[in-house]
A and B are shown apart, each in its own frame.
Chain A
Amino acid sequence: MRVINVEITTGVKGERMRIWLNAVVLLFLTLVLIPTAGAAPDAATCLGCHGSMEGEINVNQERYAKSVHGSFDCVMCHMTLKGDQHKGLSGKADKKIQELAAAISSKSKIDPIAQAACIQCHPDVYEAYKASVHGQNVIVKKSSDGPVCTSCHGTPHYIQPKTSKESLVNHFNVVATCGTCHEEKFMSEKYGLTPHVMERYKESFHGRKLKLGHSGAPSCVNCHGSHDIKDVRDPSSPVYGANKINTCGKCHAGATEKFVAAITHQPLHPIAHFTELALIILTVGVFAFICIHVLLDIIADIRDRLFRKGGGHE
C-alpha cells in the first residue's frame, strides 16, 4: 500500500527543531509508558514517531484523526508489528486475517496483516467481497490486479464516510475510482470486457447527469453492485441477461426486455456512427451556408449605404 506523503518540507532549522521536539516527546512518552509496558499503546504513541517520519510509513495525525477510524489505536489493525522498535507491541492475528494477508501479501508491501484487518470489523462486507469477481480474482486466483479494500476506499488511515465529497467511493467519485483500473486498455483485453466501457458510460445520459450532480443518476455500482460485484457473464450478476429487467426497473418502472437491451456499454454501432456523421455534416453544411449568407448580406448592406445612396432602402 502506498501512502502519499503530503507533508510540507520545512527548512533545516524547522527540521532540527522538530527532531528535538520529537526527541523530547519520545523521552516523555517513554517515561510515561514504562510503568504500563505491555498494555496497548494508543495512536498518539505511534504518531509520535510516524507522524513525522518520511515516506510510506508516515501518517498525518490531523487527517487520521478526522477519518472514520480516527479514534482507533494503531495496533487494532497493525496486530503483528515487527522489529525492536515495536518490542512488546506484537500480538497475533486470527486465522482468517492471516489467510487473507497471505493472499494479498503481493499487494501490500508494508503490513499485509493490517491490510487484511478490515475484515475483523466488516465481516459481512468481506463475505460479499470474497464471493465477488474482485475477491475471487484476488483471493483464489491470486491475481496481481484485483482490488483490495484500500484500492477503492483509499489509503486506510484517511478513509472518509461514503457521504463525504472526499471519499473515493462517494456517489460522484466512484466512477473515477472504478476507472483507475477499468479505463486501462489491458483490462478489457485480459478479462474480455467491453472496450471503452468507461468512455461509453461517461457519454451516456447516466454519466452526464451524474457528472452534473444528479443524485439519482446511476454510477457504476448502482447497476453492477459494489462489494458483491459479479462478472457480467455470471448469471448472478444484476446486469446478466434478464436480471437487467429488475436492475433497470429500480429506476425505470415497467422496464421490459426490449428496454433494458439499450444499455450495453458496447462501442458505437456503425449505423449510429454514420448517422451521427451525416448529422454533423448537415450541421456544418448549414452552418457554412448561413454564415456565408449573413456575411454577404452585411457586405452588400455596407456597400449599398456607402455607394448606392438610399440604394436598397427607401
Chain B
Amino acid sequence: MNNTIPNEIERFDLSARIQHVIMFTTFLLLSFTGWGLKYAYQDPASAWIRFWGGAKSAGIIHRVAGITMLLDFIYHQFYLLNQVRKGGMRPTLVPMPKDVIDAFHNFMYFFGLRKEKPYFGKFNYMQKFDYWAVYWGMFIIGASGFFLAFPVTVSPIFPAWSIQWIWDVIIAMHSDEALLAIVFIMIFHFYNEHLRSEVFPMNWMWLTGKMTIDQLKHHHPAEYDYLYGDKKKKK
C-alpha cells in the first residue's frame, strides 16, 4: 500500500464492471420483453411486442437474455471464489447487525434527530440491499424462468402431489418477483445511482470503477478510516 492517501480508489475492477454491464443489459431486455407478456391484455402490449419483432422474436430475446444473465450470475460466484483465493477479500457485503443500526440512524438523520449521517462501511445497507436483491431475484426469478423455459425437461423433478399447483406457483414467482425487481430498480437503484443530486445523471463508477477519496470519506467513513485511519493519525 502507498504511504500517501491517493486521490481516488478503485471499488470495482474491470471484471466486476463487465459483469454489471451484462447484468443490466440482460435485465433491461428481460424487463422489456417480459412486460409485454405479463400485461398481454393491456392495450399497448401487442404494439410493444411488435416492436420487439413479434411474440416469437420477443420470446427468443427473453430466453437468450435470461440464460446470459444466469451465466453472468454463475460467473460472479467464481469471481467471488477467486477473490477469496487471491486473499484480501473482506466480507464487506455481508449483512451485519450494524446495518440495522445504520438504517435506524439514517432514518433518524432523515427526521433531523441526528446531525451526522451513519458511520457507513465500504458498502452501506442500501447497497447491500441492492446487491442481495439480485441473489433473491436469481433464485426466485432465475430458477422459475429456467423451469418455464424447459418445462418438459424439469417436470419430472416435481412430485406428483404438487402438479396441481406447482406451475401456477412458478408463474407467480416469475411474474410477480420480476415486477418487484423492476419496481426496485426503477425506484431505489435509479434514485441512488442516477437521480440523486450528487450523482445525476449517473454515478460514473459503473464505467470508471473509481471513487474519489472525498466521496469515500464522506459516504463510507468507516471504510476510509479502515484504509487510512492510521496514516491520518501519523500525519
Kindly list chain B residues whose C-beta atoms are within 8 Å of the C-beta of A297.
Answer: 110, 191, 196
Kindly list chain A residues whose C-beta atoms are within 8 Å of the C-beta of B67.
Answer: none
B132 to chain A, nearest CB (A): 12
Contact A258 B156 (CB under 8 A): yes
Q: Tell me the bound Cα distance from A256 to B156 in angstroms.
A: 8
8 shortest interchain CB distances as A-B pairs: A214-B55, A272-B168, A269-B165, A208-B40, A259-B155, A296-B110, A276-B172, A272-B165
Q: Per-position contact with A for B183-206: 1 when CB-CB < 8 Å, else 0?
A: 110011001000011100000000
Given contacts A255-B152, A297-B110, contact A212 B46 (CB under 8 A): yes
Name the residue of chain B whose CB is nearest to the CB of A202.
Answer: B41
Q: Tell me the bound Cα distance from A294 to B110 in angstroms.
A: 10
B16 to chain A, nearest CB (A): 24
Name the residue of chain A whose CB is nearest to the CB of B55.
Answer: A214
Contact B187 A294 (CB under 8 A): yes
B171 in the interface (beta carbon within 8 A): yes
Kindly list chain B residues whose C-beta atoms are within 8 Å of the C-beta of A279.
Answer: 172-173, 176-177, 180
Chain B, 124-157, CB within 8 A of any chain A CB: 126, 148, 151-152, 155-156
Q: Give the contacting residue for B59; candidates A214, A272, A312; CB below 8 A.
A: A214
How many chain A residues touch B (CB < 8 A): the figure is 51
Contact A212 B218 (CB under 8 A): no
* Of A7-15, A155-163, A298-306, the one touching chain B: A298-306
A106 in the interface (beta carbon within 8 A): no
Kindly list chain A residues whose C-beta atoms are within 8 Å of the C-beta of B183.
Answer: 283, 286-287, 290
A selection of 20 A-B contacts at a CB cut-off of 8 Å is A205-B37, A205-B148, A208-B40, A209-B37, A211-B41, A211-B46, A212-B49, A212-B58, A258-B163, A262-B167, A269-B164, A269-B168, A272-B168, A276-B169, A283-B177, A283-B179, A290-B184, A290-B187, A300-B109, A305-B197
Contact A258 B173 (CB under 8 A): no
Kindly list chain A residues whose C-beta atoms are within 8 Å of the C-beta of B164.
Answer: 261, 264, 266, 269
Contact B155 A258 (CB under 8 A): yes
A39 in the interface (beta carbon within 8 A): no
Q: Tell me the bound Cα distance from A241 to B112 in angstroms.
A: 67
Contact A256 B184 (CB under 8 A): no
Q: Per-position contact with A for B81-105: 1 when CB-CB < 8 Å, else 0?
A: 0000000000000000000000000
Contact B177 A212 (CB under 8 A): no
Kindly list chain B residues whose C-beta atoms are within 8 Å of the C-beta of A213.
Answer: 46, 49-50, 54-55
Contact A259 B152 (CB under 8 A): yes
Q: Tell me the bound Cα distance from A314 to B198 in angstroms.
A: 11
A65 to chain B, nearest CB (A): 31
Name the residue of chain A whose CB is nearest to the CB of B58.
Answer: A212
Kindly list chain B residues whose C-beta atoms are within 8 Å of the C-beta of A253.
Answer: 152
A-B contact count (CB 8 A): 133
Residues in B lying within 8 Å of A, measured CB to CB = 36-37, 40-41, 45-46, 49-50, 54-56, 58-59, 107, 109-112, 117, 126, 148, 151-152, 155-156, 158, 160, 163-169, 171-173, 176-177, 179-180, 183-184, 187-188, 191, 196-198, 214, 217-218
Give the residue among A270, A282, A293, A298 with the most B Cβ atoms within 10 A. Answer: A293
Name the residue of chain B whose CB is nearest to the CB of A271.
Answer: B165
Residues in A lying within 8 Å of B, measured CB to CB = 202, 205, 207-209, 211-217, 252-256, 258-259, 261-262, 264, 266, 268-272, 275-276, 279-280, 282-283, 286-287, 290-291, 293-294, 296-301, 303, 305, 312-314
Kindly list chain A residues whose C-beta atoms are within 8 Å of the C-beta of B55.
Answer: 209, 212-214, 217
Q: Tell me the bound Cα distance from A270 to B165 in angstroms.
A: 8
Name the residue of chain B whose CB is nearest to the CB of A287.
Answer: B183
Contact B59 A209 (CB under 8 A): yes
Q: Give the contacting residue for B155; candidates A205, A256, A287, A299; CB below 8 A.
A: A256
Given contacts A212-B55, A290-B184, contact A268 B36 (CB under 8 A): no
Contact A208 B37 (CB under 8 A): yes
Kindly list chain B residues whose C-beta atoms are within 8 Å of the C-beta of A298.
Answer: 191
Q: Tell me the bound Cα distance from A216 to B59 in angstroms.
A: 12
Contact B187 A314 (CB under 8 A): no
Q: Tell me the bound Cα distance from A32 to B50 in angstroms.
A: 55
Given contacts A254-B152, A282-B180, A283-B183, contact A262 B49 (CB under 8 A): no
Contact A294 B191 (CB under 8 A): yes
Contact B187 A291 (CB under 8 A): yes
Q: Give the contacting residue for B173; candidates A212, A264, A275, A312; CB below 8 A.
A: A275
Contact A286 B198 (CB under 8 A): no
Contact B188 A283 (CB under 8 A): no
Given contacts A214-B56, A313-B218, contact A261 B163 (CB under 8 A): yes
Q: Give the contacting residue for B151; candidates A217, A262, A313, A314; CB below 8 A.
A: A262
